[in-house]
Amino acid sequence: MMKQMNPAPPRLAALLISLLTTAACAVDEVPTPPAANIWPDPKLIQELERKKSPFHFHESDVPKYDLPDPLKCADAAIVTTREQWESKRRPETLELFRRHVYGRSPAPGKVTFDILETDAKAIDGQATRKRIKITCTPEKQGVDSFSFEVNLLTPNRAATRVPAFILINNRPIASADPTRAQKNDFWPVEQIIARGYATAVFRTGDVDPDAAGDAARANGVRAAFHAGVEGEDAWATLAAWAWGASRVLDYLQTDPAIDAAKVAVIGHSRGGKTALWAAAQDTRFALAISNCSGRGGASLARRRMGETVKVINKAFPYWFCDNFKKYDDKEDDLPVDQHQLISLIAPRAVYVASAEADFWADQRGEFLALANANPVFTLYGQPAIKLDEMPPLETPLIRGTRAYHIRRGVHNLTLYDWQRYMDYADTLWPKPATHQ
């Protein structure tokens, strides 16, 4: 187990930051973040107290916990090189997440694409929109194939292949409408295209219904692809959606407008959990973006803040594999925690973001999972993130291939978030000279 440094409680941290920054100002005149930017605002805590919120939101409620060491192998050997990580502990870690958390996904079988519609003058002529049907046929003969649709918008002014963001849309079509009849900052396509990126979107429910029960399951990909993936570690809905994101990437690899080595997978909340699991398994994703993903996403389960394992398993019993239910109220028994999920993405890029008032998702737990992935990222020469350097509001922390911000406001995916993600992508993937 890794020694878990206890981050300073928020008010103490605020005081320390203000003392330290005051001292720094006296010497260097370094501008300090206004006190109002320090998270959490005590008023938010008071509001939760007033409402008698039944979940834990005080830092003092976090139990003492030890995180599994991401570099420690099943035979107790400690990984010291990238090669050992990639050949030994990374596969072991993936297997633990498959077996205990998200379940085991099947191979996609034969994957084919049909362009159902092309509009070369989308968004006032700024973009080309394609609607594509993706069909996957299991290897086993006599089994039904499964199809779902994705929409892709690419900038018309691009002179070369462009990077793309795949949005996993867990909300109604109005939140991410490819026709742009309805506009919503959940998917600000106009801005994405204006900044020279392509973007694809698919709806989670088209891959696997976001509902419990056999009737729902019968309408999803898990009905067609069940052979070899049954039992307590069979794939569940989040894994099915992640599998869908990989199929979208299969298509993007064939599209001449896309630079498939520069594809980000992004999701909000349940979509954010999915984005992380997709990128953990599928190393073709160059960047994973977890927006307010919370429990089962970026936040550390062992902190038991906000939504706990038991609560999420009760509310959404079909999101995780059956084995995950064994950890209700037993977070310390989990053989992995979410810093290891983020470690699986190393050295590729991961951006984790939280919202100021989203205590249910455990904002600090999200930051700490990112920071506690240090041992694996540093194996690749990436800089470390200190456990006590959670940044002030709307002050992104960029550390090599990891980034984090906490935005003002509530649980949502907003234009502010997208702007920061694109700013970060700009640094990862500088625009070629030919690109206007």
139 C-beta neighbours (distance < 10 Å), count? 13
CB of 361 to ligand GTR, least distance (A): 7
Q: Which is nearer to ligand GTR, 285 or 319 (CB)?
A: 319
Identify the active-site residue in 175, 269, 299, 343. 269
Structure tokens at 151: 């929409």
Structure tokens at 1: 């187990």
Q: Which is nearer to ligand GTR, 48 or 398 (CB)?
A: 48
Q: Which is nearer to ligand GTR, 55 or 113 (CB)?
A: 55
Active site residue 100: no
Residue 322 — left, alpha, or beta (φ > 0 → left; ψ -120 to 50 → alpha)?
alpha
Identify the active-site residue in 53, 145, 411, 435. 411
CB of 433 to ligand GTR, least distance (A): 41
Please report, as ranges, the residues that interact with ligand GTR according to CB under 6 A: 170, 269-270, 294-295, 307, 312, 315
Q: Which is nearer to ligand GTR, 90 or 295 (CB)?
A: 295
Question: Over the chain, what HEC string results?
Answer: CECCCCCCCHHHHHHHHHHHHHHHHHHHCCCCCCHHHCCCCHHHHHHHHHCCCCCCCCHHHCCCCCECCCCECCCCCECCCHHHHHHHHHHHHHHHHHHHHHCECCCCCEEEEEEEEEEEEHHHHCEEEEEEEEEEECCCCCCCCEEEEEEEEEECCCCCCEEEEEEEECCCHHHHCCCCCCCCCCCCHHHHHHCCCEEEEEEHHHHCCCCCCHHHHHCCHHHHCCCCCCCCCECCHHHHHHHHHHHHHHHHCCCCCEEEEEEEEEEECHHHHHHHHHHHHCCCCCEEEEECCCCCCCCCHHHCCCCCHHHHHHHCCCCCCHHHHHHCCCHHHCCCCHHHHHHCCCCCEEEEEEECCCHHHCHHHHHHHHHCCHHHHHHCCCCCCCCCCCCCCCCCEEECCEEEEEECCCCCCCHHHHHHHHHHHHHHCCCCCCCC
Residue 132 near residue 244 (C-beta atoms within 8 A):
no
Q: Which is nearer to ligand GTR, 171 or 402 (CB)?
A: 171
CB of 270 to ligand GTR, least distance (A): 3
Pairing type for strands 146-155 and 127-137 reads antiparallel
CB of 414 to ligand GTR, least distance (A): 14
Q: By beta-carbon distance, which residue lies closest to ligand GTR?
A: 269
CA 245 – CA 242 distance, rounded (Å): 5
CB of 376 to ligand GTR, least distance (A): 25
Active site residue 343: no
Q: Which is nearer to ligand GTR, 274 or 401 (CB)?
A: 274
Q: Which is nearer to ligand GTR, 250 or 307 (CB)?
A: 307
Q: Which is nearer to ligand GTR, 129 or 273 (CB)?
A: 273
CB of 183 to ligand GTR, least distance (A): 21
Catalytic center residues: 269, 411
